[in-house]
């Protein structure tokens, strides 16, 4: 059975004081649930070292929200995989919908970032998901398939073992309208079947697929009850330690 994996994506929120307080609170509330679920929190870049320190010896891991694929040089404003490793990051979100649709990231760029992150020993959370108009036009499967295929292009099965996929329908992100458990399960199963076709059945049974988009304490249990939902990537609710802990608990009690 796949161990649930819950990520907290803080996005562009908190400040130096509240980031540390939130991290400490998450450790206190989620700490007693080790073993049953993997947990990571992803603060803004500038607070990563302080949050790392706040996480102390807990088994909650530290993740970044993005990374650049080049290892060093003249790339003003960018952060390399090696820099993330250097300060103790284990996980990294790649291809989040806000990077795709607000910052204009392409599948090709996301593919380069995934390859670089894996080669550097980071564990990518690779995000995919359709826009509302694409769902309405019946294109969900086509869009998500394309994102998965292009994102994982040239990545061998050995390398793909580092990857967690996060299905985040864009219409569900920050809207309070989560995908129904059935809608999530349908896409998760489709992704798993695609992974089986791209790699093999064994690996498809191992790869974890998180759901993201308005996950809250009151919908987490029914979403995690779905056969192919292996955890969550949580935005808004990860900014409240009680809510995040309630979501982690729902996954731990699955």
Per-residue contact flags (x/-) with ligand 13P for residues 97 to 136, judged by CB under 6 A: ----------------------------------------
Binding of ligand 13P by 215 (CB under 6 A) = yes
Q: What letter would DSSP give residue 118?
A: H
168 binds ligand 13P, rule: CB under 6 A: yes
Query: Residues touching ligand 13P: how many (CB under 6 A)?
Result: 14
- What's the rounded Cα separation, in Å, for the pair 119 and 196? 23
Longest dimension (CA), the chain: 48
Stretch that binds ligand 13P, among 55-63, 133-141, 186-194, 234-242 (CB under 6 A): 234-242
- Give the pair of three-digit tokens for residue 87: 């300060």
Nearest of 60, 8, 3 to residue 215 by alpha carbon: 8
3-state secondary structure of 210: strand
In the complex with ligand 13P, the residue whose CB is nearer, 61 or 199, is 61
Residues 6+ apart with CB under 8 A from 112: 69
Rule CB under 6 A: choose which of 22, 233, 248, 252 binds ligand 13P. Answer: 233
Provide the phi-psi class of 52: left if phi over 0, else alpha when psi is between -120 and 50, else beta: alpha
Dist. CA 213–CA 217, nearest whole Å: 13
Choices 19-27, 108-116, 140-148, 213-221; region in contact with ligand 13P by CB under 6 A: 213-221
CB 38, min distance to ligand 13P, A: 16
The binding site for ligand 13P (CB under 6 A) comprises 9, 96, 168, 173-174, 212-215, 233-237
């Amino acid at each position: 059975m796949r161990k649930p994996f819950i990520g907290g994506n803080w996005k562009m929120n908190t400040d130096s004081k509240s980031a540390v307080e939130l991290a400490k609170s998450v450790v206190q509330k989620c700490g007693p649930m080790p073993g049953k679920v993997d947990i990571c929190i992803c603060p803004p870049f500038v607070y990563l070292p302080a949050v790392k320190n706040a996480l102390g010896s807990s088994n909650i891991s530290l993740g970044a929200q993005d990374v650049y694929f080049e290892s060093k040089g003249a790339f003003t404003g960018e952060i390399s995989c090696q820099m993330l490793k250097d300060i103790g990051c284990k996980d990294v979100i790649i291809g989040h919908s806000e990077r795709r649709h607000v910052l204009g990231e392409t599948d090709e760029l996301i593919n380069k970032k995934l390859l670089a992150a894996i080669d550097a020993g980071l564990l990518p959370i690779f995000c995919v998901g359709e826009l509302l108009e694409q769902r309405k036009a019946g294109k969900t499967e086509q869009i998500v398939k394309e994102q998965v295929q292009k994102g994982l292009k040239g990545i061998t099965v050995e390398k793909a073992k580092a990857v967690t996929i996060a299905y985040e329908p864009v219409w569900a992100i920050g809207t309070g309208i989560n995908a129904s458990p059935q809608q999530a399960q349908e896409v998760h199963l489709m992704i798993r079947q695609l992974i089986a076709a791209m790699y093999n059945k064994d690996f498809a049974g191992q790869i974890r697929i998180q759901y993201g988009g308005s996950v809250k304490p009151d919908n987490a249990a029914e979403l995690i009850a779905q056969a192919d939902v292996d955890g969550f990537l949580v935005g808004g609710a990860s900014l409240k330690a009680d809510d995040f802990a309630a979501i982690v608990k729902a996954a731990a009690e699955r």
